[in-house]
Structure 1
Amino acid sequence: MASKHSPPDGIVEQCSNCEREQPHEVSIDLLTESDQEENAEFSREPYRVATCRVCGDTTKTRMNNA
């Protein structure tokens, strides 16, 4: 079975906190957008979450803007 390995330094992208390109850990997470508990499972949306491996700054970007 083939598997993909991420680069040893992670994905390199601009960090707004460090103000330069740094390695980041990137994942896709389902986040709940509703504060109400009732029907909260229907308000989940995919977000791209990037965390700088140097300073720990995290950015979350909504994947679909419906």
Structure 2
Amino acid sequence: MEKHAPDSCPRCGEIFVCKVNNILQCDCMKAVLTKAETAYIANITEWEYDGNCLCNKCLEDLKKEIAK
């Protein structure tokens, strides 16, 4: 497996670099989520997106959606 694998967001199709082998340096760590938000997003990504990573924009969009 590549150290930093290019991937496309299953929600919007945006290309981003997943740093699964260095999660602390991964862009998704910039998204500050509560435990409840993380659980909600994990649940929908498991069922709607086969558990794949989402881009930061989608993480932020879902955070706003949850807040409504």
TM-score normalised by length of structure 1: 0.24
Tell which has more relative contact order, 1 or 2 (C-alpha 8 A, sep 6+): 2
Please identify which structure carries the higher helix content. Answer: 2
Please identify which structure carries the higher strand content. Answer: 1
Decide which structure has the larger Cα Rg and report it: 1
